[in-house]
Amino acid sequence: MQCANLTDDELWHAISQNTEALSELVQQMFELKIGSQAGIRTRRMSNAQTINALERQYRTYTAELRRRYP
């Protein structure tokens, strides 16, 4: 669903969920930086891609709210 079709409350809820997920992934990235297990690099790359996607969504949601309320 495009964010233009979401209500303000739905956008704020999506921003909140996005922020929580981003915080969890950043914490995981920090923990992976400390560890030295096999496969960590792959997991870091996956987390980094997810973080990038969450950041894009966050910018999209906030841009929609700014568009509605200049």
What's the confidence (pLDDT) of residue 26? 84
Domain presence at residue 28: yes
Residue 53 lies inside a defined structural domain of this protein:
yes
What pLDDT digit, counting tens, does each position of 45-58 carry? 788 889 899 999 99
Is there a domain that residue 19 lies in?
yes
The answer to the question of residue 59 being in a domain is yes
Q: CA–CA separation, 21 vs 10, rounded Å?
A: 16
27 in a domain, yes or no?
A: yes
The count of structural domains within the chain is 1
* pLDDT value at 60 more than 90: yes
Distance in angstroms (rounded) separating the CA atoms of residues 61 and 56: 9
How do residues 8-26 score in pLDDT, each as one tens digit?
999 999 999 999 999 998 8
Give the residue numbers spanning the domain of 43: 3-65
- Whether 70 is in a domain gets the answer no
Does residue 28 register a pLDDT over 90? Answer: no
The dihedral over CA atoms of 18, 23, 26, 31, expressed in degrees to the nearest 10, equals -140
| Pick from 17, 14, 27, 25: nearest CA to 62 | 14
